[in-house]
């Protein structure tokens, strides 16, 4: 579908175009809070991604960051392992990715769904699960379990049935970058270290400064191998730059709406009818002698979304 214009029965014009990745990720069906384009694109930059890279991501959520990563790495030999603890999130993400531009970013992704979360998938990836398909307690172990309620036991049984994909990598495989958007990721960092190449980055999405401070203190006493290089809060200040009719120069009574609004004629106060003798000046048909320009920030809420924390492995 090339870009085209359609008109409603009331005469309003719309243009149709293929959604950009930004438009798609912010409007598609959601199961989880997404990483917004301003953060996702910066995270791609902090992760220093390149075509052919191997990346580990957790949690997959809605698949927004997954698509930004894929767009940066997809190419011969690339691979993205993405992990979520919630089945429904991961399934939604996979569907979202398959539906974007007929699935151009789907190839080369392994979706890991495990109620044991990243912690459990790491065992599969580092080979410590000995290659079994499920990593939960065995049925025999569960039979002897007496401390759990019936629903806890049911959940554990379901976990024990969980199928995991085979590890697609060689035993000594390491990633070029790791991206984490999890409620609390500190405790898995030590287990992730062997999976990350030396001198390569990790990017953590964290919502508040106390979490980051906590992480900094924890790294200092538990993981000197990870260096906190940068903490960023990404601002996004959008401006509008467009033409508008200058009221004093337009002959007749023309109402120019707020900045960025299409100039429309208000109804005449006496009759309630539009005054057809005054032309309707939209943004593209303003006469030259009435042309002015508007440049100012768009007044939209673009508040705090989160922080990006760049860490680097330094095992020298």
Ligand X SMILES: C[S@@+](CC[C@H](N)C(=O)[O-])C[C@H]1O[C@@H](n2cnc3c(N)ncnc32)[C@H](O)[C@@H]1O
**Binding stretches for ligand X (CB under 6 A):** 32-35, 58-59, 61-65, 83-86, 89, 117-118, 181-183
SS3 content of the chain, % helix, strand, coil (to 5): 30, 20, 50
Residue with smaller CB distance to ligand X, 206 or 286: 206
Residue with smaller CB distance to ligand X, 64 or 70: 64
Tell me the C-alpha distance between 47 and 197, whole Å.
Answer: 12
Judge whether 240 and 295 are in contact, CB under 8 Å.
yes
Nearest Cα neighbor of 291 from 242, 240, 243 is 243
Residue with smaller CB distance to ligand X, 64 or 167: 64
Residue with smaller CB distance to ligand X, 121 or 254: 121
Residue with smaller CB distance to ligand X, 59 or 201: 59
Residue with smaller CB distance to ligand X, 256 or 308: 308
Query: In b/e form, how buried is each residue of 50-79, taking b as 16+ CB within 10 angstroms?
Result: eeebbbbbbbbbbbbbbbbbbbbbbeeebb
Residue with smaller CB distance to ligand X, 65 or 204: 65
Tell me the C-alpha distance between 198 and 195, whole Å.
Answer: 9
Length of the chain: 316
Tell me the C-alpha distance between 214 and 222, whole Å.
Answer: 12
Provide the total of helices (H) and of strands (E) in the chain, helices listed first.
9, 11
**Cα dihedral: 77, 125, 186, 71 (round 10):** 20
Instruction: Look up residue 6 and give its two tokens.
Output: 């359609």
Minimum CB separation from ligand X for residue 180, in Å? Answer: 9
Minimum CB separation from ligand X for residue 35, in Å? Answer: 4
Minimum CB separation from ligand X for residue 3, in Å? Answer: 28
Query: In b/e form, how buried is each residue of 185-217, taking b as 16+ CB within 10 angstroms?
Result: bbebbeebbebbeeebbbbbbbeeeebbeebee
């Amino acid at each position: 579908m090339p870009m085209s214009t359609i008109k409603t029965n009331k005469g309003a014009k719309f243009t149709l175009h293929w959604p950009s990745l930004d438009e798609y990720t912010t409007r598609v069906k959601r199961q989880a809070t997404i990483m917004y384009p301003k953060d996702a694109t910066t995270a791609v930059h902090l992760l220093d991604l390149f075509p052919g890279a191997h990346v580990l991501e957790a949690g997959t959520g809605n698949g927004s960051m997954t698509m930004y990563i894929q767009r940066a790495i997809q190419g011969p030999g690339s691979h993205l392992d993405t992990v979520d603890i919630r089945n429904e999130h991961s399934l939604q993400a996979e569907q979202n990715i398959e539906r974007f531009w007929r699935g151009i970013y789907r190839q080369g992704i392994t979706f890991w769904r495990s109620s044991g979360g990243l912690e459990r998938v790491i065992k599969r990836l580092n080979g410590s699960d000995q290659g079994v398909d499920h990593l939960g307690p065995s049925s025999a172990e569960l039979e002897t379990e007496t401390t759990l309620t019936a629903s806890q036991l049911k959940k554990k049984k379901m976990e024990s049935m969980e199928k995991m994909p085979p590890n697609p990598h060689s035993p000594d495989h390491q990633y070029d970058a790791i991206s984490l958007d999890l409620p609390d990721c500190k405790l898995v960092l030590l287990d992730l270290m062997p999976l990350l190449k030396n001198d390569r980055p990790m990017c953590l999405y964290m919502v508040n400064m106390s979490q980051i401070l906590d992480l900094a203190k924890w790294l200092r006493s538990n993981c000197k191998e990870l260096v906190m290089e940068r903490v960023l809060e990404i601002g996004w200040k959008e401006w509008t730059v467009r033409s508008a009719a200058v009221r004093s120069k337009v002959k007749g009574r023309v109402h120019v709406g707020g900045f960025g609004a299409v100039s429309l004629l208000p109804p005449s106060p006496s009759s309630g009818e539009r005054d057809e003798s005054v032309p309707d000046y939209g943004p593209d048909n303003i006469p030259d002698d009435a042309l002015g320009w508007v440049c100012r920030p768009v007044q939209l809420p673009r508040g705090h979304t989160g922080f990006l924390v760049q860490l680097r492995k330094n095992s020298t």
